[in-house]
Structure 1
């Protein structure tokens, strides 16, 4: 009788212990942590889409994205592992390729935008060169209204500006005295929308940046579209890279890069 009571007491104690412990704690994701991505904003749509898709599968992995660093900063900070991944929207220099590895995530173009009311829909590369060099000063010369041209260009070091200068000036730009330098893509969009005679440079990807008072010009008869950027028909273009230190990346970054290179990541990139 006492033995039965003792066994019953054991089961009651054991049940109480199990109840107190509750459900088993889920295993911690070995990749969990917060990781830094930085660079310019040209590659942001692709990178954000890739991050969202990856985090949906591995929610314990978090990313912070900084678009204020530019391509130069992305290379330098990724090389010394201040950031985990850099977003670069230009070709890598040979000296940079020695410091960082990369994966291609797309291509971006540099487009020319004008005020939405401008009758001009396209320019040749030679005409654009003459406008920025100060040799063509009025829109009427290229089929537009009798209106002074107000040329604007992105700040020095901008990948959008570098691509334009490479295409038009063979990397040796000659600017007229009236060219206005604008800091940032959104600021450029706003400046051209506010100036009827304005023309400016802007980064373009799969979707053109028309709207809000601006329109995108064709250059040498070719529009910047998803297809023309992919196949190289639109010439003012540059690659988009994720760069990372050549030393072994953190396991979560290695897993993310495998995802980008794999079928799931490529499916995400196919949308652009």
Structure 2
């Protein structure tokens, strides 16, 4: 019976999603939210709890920040998840709500002797000016640069904050399309370096200090850790979808879920 109930729930989501987010005659709210894979695990937890408490059908999909923006603009999603600043042309079409703050952490293999690098050194590594760990106090080994794919909000945020463009990225970098792939890659490559969301941090990799500051909730909140970004939910201009979901996100229970994922809650604006 449990399997049948699950199948029926999924069917409801598929049928309702063709018409966009709405409330059914039974009062069940349906909504599809998609986009940033950095925000996805957090929103899955929020949606699961919200659905249980409200008999709702909120479903979460990934795909990246660019997918979240495009899907919101064309009506595929009622809300989009975006983990970077909106571009001017996007801001003309979409309203944004900041739901949390996140640090972008730089990770290396656990056996790497380097503990801290400067922002300038980080930029030089990712643009190919520094190619050997010995130049920053490590072993005499070539640096294996790992980056996210084009369209990733984490990549856009990392590049804009560190201070280089995608065209400047070192050509032989290893491109991965998900946070988990970067963690897996760096965890087995003694000479690798990558960047991930603070909330996705795993003990299988080592975190580097940037300009002497270790990423943490406190250092992101007080601004001393510089590589940080906002997590956004976006919707079409003038639309007011998901007001009850936003109420939950900014409630004490919602804030606890955000903190449980190692992100920083913010006040509603």
The TM-score by the shorter chain falls in which range? 0.7 to 0.9
Q: CA RMSD in A?
A: 2.3
Higher deviation after alignment, 190-199 or 174-183: 174-183
1:142 shift after superposition: 1.2
1:256 matched to 2:245? The reply is: yes
1:76 shift after superposition: 2.3
Per the alignment, residue 13 of structure 2 pairs with none
CA-to-aligned-CA distance 1:215-256 (integer Å, 9 cap, x gap): 111111111111222232211111101112234445xx2322
In the superposition, relative to structure 1, how do residues 262 and 115 fare at CA in structure 2: closer, same or farther (>3 Å)?
Answer: closer
CA distance in 1, matches of 2:27, 2:225: 40
1:77 matched to 2:71? The reply is: yes
Which stretches in structure 2 are left out of the alignment for 5+ residues?
Answer: 1-23, 264-269
| TM-score (normalised: structure 1) | 0.78
CA distance in 2, matches of 1:173, 1:221: 28
Give 1:120-135 correspondences, 5 Å limit.
120-135=114-129
Which stretches in structure 1 are left out of the alignment for 5+ residues?
Answer: 1-27
Secondary structure of the equivalent of 1:119? coil
In the superposition, relative to structure 1, how do residues 210 and 32 fare at CA in structure 2: closer, same or farther (>3 Å)?
Answer: closer
1:40 matched to 2:29? The reply is: no
Larger Rg: 1
CA distance in 1, matches of 2:136, 2:159: 21
CA distance in 2, matches of 1:94, 1:133: 26
| TM-score (normalised: structure 2) | 0.79
Per the alignment, residue 108 of structure 2 pairs with 114
In the superposition, relative to structure 1, how do residues 49 and 99 fare at CA in structure 2: closer, same or farther (>3 Å)?
Answer: same
User: 1:42–1:108: 8 Å Cα contact kept in structure 2?
Assistant: no
Per the alignment, residue 227 of structure 2 pairs with 236
User: 1:209–1:215: 8 Å Cα contact kept in structure 2?
Assistant: no
In the superposition, relative to structure 1, how do residues 170 and 78 fare at CA in structure 2: closer, same or farther (>3 Å)?
Answer: same
CA-to-aligned-CA distance 1:95-151 (integer Å, 9 cap, x gap): 222222222111222221111111111111111122222222221221112222111
2:59 paired residue among 38, 61, 64: 64
Aligned length: 238
Per the alignment, residue 211 of structure 1 pairs with 203
User: 2:98–2:232: 8 Å Cα contact kept in structure 1?
Assistant: yes
CA-to-aligned-CA distance 1:8-41 (integer Å, 9 cap, x gap): xxxxxxxxxxxxxxxxxxxx97531432110112
2:181 paired residue among 164, 182, 187: 187
